[in-house]
Structures are given as structure tokens and as C-alpha cells.
Amino acid sequence: MVAVEERVEVSWRTGPLALVSLVALVLGVGLMVALHLVPPTNEISPVRRTISEYALGPSKWAFDLSVLLVAAGSALGFVELIRRRLVRPLSVGVLLGALWTVSLLVIVAFTKTDWSVGPSLGGMVHRYASVVGFVALPLAVLVVAKSVYPNAFVPRLIAKGLGVISLLWFGLILIGVLRMAGGGEPWWQFVPLGLVERMMALTAVAAITVVVTGLLRSPAPNERHEKIHGDQQDVPATV
């Protein structure tokens, strides 16, 4: 009988694509936070006014850039998941991630309705794109978190927990819609819409950021498991 020695070689490295993804996400969030603090957009109520309100004034370029950075960072994160073969290209998680990314592009292309002027088709497209995005991203994180953190319970729990919290915030809006359908007040008055939307966005983007952070120290694509037999690699054999 020949004894067999098994050796496992795993190549660990910081993925440049994951790093670019993380930087884009952080820059996008940072720019959005700046809109809350810098005049004239700091006068917009973060409790009652939605985030897209920033696109109705002279700071539209900053809003658009912020959203595009988050879209790019998210897309790169999902591309890295595919590149490392952690998920399949046509998997549910990737498709949900694509919906999120495309919805952000639509949000930039179609500006929120300016209610001081009146309803618009573009504003309606913007609203539905927002709904799709805010649902798709948390679900995507719930699907892919285990692939990124198969053996790390705490970060996996954090990513999934943030995704669930984001969906729960969205649930408040759904409750408002149901109440309105039953004869209650308008859904946008049932909840502090601006605050709820910001919490949805914050937790959802935080969730994908946790996922991307995990990719910084994931096994590289050339991870190999090599079995070296004694009779081939000068390993002592016992007969």
C-alpha cells in the first residue's frame, strides 16, 4: 500500500477589482452624505423629502455622480463574484444585482417628479426604478452572502442582517400603501418618507459593502487543491 500525502495550496491576495468596487461605494456614499451637509441641499428635510430631491436643483450633478459611483461599485462587486466563481453568471444573486445596478442608471436618466410643476412620465419611471432597486439589492445580498463568507458566521450575519433591515424599512412603505388602499391617509404621509428611504438606502448599500469587503481577502481564482502521490513526488512510501 502506498501512503499518500495531501497538500492544499491556497493563494490569497487582495483583489484589485474588489478594491476599486469598495472605493467607488465609499466615494458614492460620501458624496451623498456631503449633499446633506453642504448648502444649498442641506436645507432639504432629510425626514420628509426623498433623496432624489437633491437632483431637482443645481446640485443634480453631485447627486448623479454619487448614484453612478454606487452603481459602478455594485456592478464591479458582482463581476468579481463571477470572476472568482463564487456565483454563476446567470444565478439569482447576479440577476438581482443587475436589476439594482440598472435601476440606479434609470434613476439618473429620469429625474424625480418636481411636484411644484406637476406629475411627469419621467418621474413615474424614476419612482418604479427606485422600488425595483431597493428590493433587488437586499435580496441579492441575502443570496450571495454565504458564497462570500462560507465559514465566517459573523460577517455573513451582518451582511444578511443589513439586507433584512433594509427590506423591513421598505415594508413600512408597503403598509402605508395598503392603508391608503383601505381608505387611510396617503402612503407618503403615513411614514416620514425621507427618513425611511434614507434608512433603506443606507442599510442596503452597507450590506453590499460588507459583501465587497469580504472579497478583498477571498481566495484568488488560481486556488488549487493538489494531491501529491508519494511515488511521483519522492514522498516516502510504505509497503
User: Does a structural domain hold residue 83?
Assistant: yes
- For residue range 129-155, what is the model confidence (pLDDT) as tens digits? 999 999 999 999 999 999 999 999 999
User: Does a structural domain hold residue 236?
Assistant: no
Handedness of CA 227, 229, 235, 236 (dihedral sign): positive
pLDDT at 116 (0 to 100): 80
Q: Stretch 14-42: mean pLDDT, rounded? A: 93
User: Does a structural domain hold residue 7?
Assistant: no
Q: Stretch 194-213: mean pLDDT, rounded? A: 96
Distance CA 17, CA 139 (A): 23
Residue 9 has pLDDT above 60, yes or no: no
Q: Among 29, 57, 31, which Cα is nearest to 43's?
A: 57
Q: Which residue has the higher pLDDT, 122 or 235?
A: 122
Give one DSSP letter per residue of 19-85, joined into a string. HHHHHHHHHHHHHHHHHHHSTTGGGS-TTTS-GGGGGGSTTHHHHHHHHHHHHHHHHHHHHHHHHTT
User: Does a structural domain hold residue 9?
Assistant: no
CA angle 3, 9, 11 (to 5 degrees): 180
Query: What's at 224, amino acid-wise?
Result: R
User: Does a structural domain hold residue 38?
Assistant: yes
Distance CA 87, CA 83 (A): 9
- For residue range 21-32, what is the model confidence (pLDDT) as tens digits? 999 999 999 999
| Average confidence score pLDDT of the chain | 86
User: Does a structural domain hold residue 209?
Assistant: yes
- For residue range 165-188, what is the model confidence (pLDDT) as tens digits? 999 999 999 999 999 988 888 888
pLDDT at 222 (0 to 100): 44
User: Does a structural domain hold residue 5?
Assistant: no
CB 147 within 8 A of CB 87: yes
User: Does a structural domain hold residue 150?
Assistant: yes
Residue 20 structural domain: 16-221
Q: Stretch 38-52: mean pLDDT, rounded? A: 92
pLDDT at 137 (0 to 100): 97
Task: Report the domain count for the chain.
Answer: 1
